[in-house]
Structure 1
């Protein structure tokens, strides 16, 4: 299914390797208290790379990505698997030159030993939609993951599924 979805994205041949960009500031993230029933969520807007613009380049364009907030929660459309929690990120991607494809499936969360694409269980009020941004255009929305709690690095992937930027999200 992933291959079919990513196959619909415009493919741009790679001519030069890109290096992921990241910051190394340690931080703390507020968490949501686990409960069987949905409850209020604590949202973090600082720590790690939250709130910072991270620049990246692809073969077809340049852009910035900003993760405005992160929420770890146990409630969603369905309960997460045992040992996992939902991480919901509010993300903006702004094209600063050329064209840049945007899709939630191009944001991969990595933890110690795991690489995860967005999950279907988190409740998203404004999901990040797939589109191709032209210079000056911006896309904003939410991306959700089901992960074991811990520090997370979100990688922005290019059309060849190679990481072109990294955003650090602190552990809950």
Structure 2
């Protein structure tokens, strides 16, 4: 829905912001994984949406490319009043970038609040990662105390069967 007369400029702006303008004439299949991630974000930014949903946008990016993504998203937010909904496993990103954080564990919303408030509730030196560990626990088994492992396996298998039917 970008007007034809604005299209080229917007595409160039998005490619430049993601540091891809100099390789714009190459086929995307020749891009590295990080370049593809940046191209995906550039595509989303061309329309200047009022709501931008980013699902782990910096996975696979080096620190310089990651910073570039966040600088561009911040610029777009300020310039166009864009709201950004971000999913990330990087608590330092959530802490630095988000006004409000919702922490989920095993698909269940555990808490919502500003990073400052969530950290303050855990103690004066708490990090957002400490808050996440508080709500999610500290083991990688995915099982809470007293859970039956057989039931967990059955739940996983049932979820996979449902996903195959839906897709």
Which band: TM-score by shorter chain?
under 0.3
* Structure with the higher strand share, 1 or 2: 1
Look at both structures and tell me which one has the larger radius of gyration over its CA atoms: 2
Instruction: Give 1 or 2: higher helix fraction.
Output: 2
What is the TM-score of this pair, normalised by structure 2?
0.19
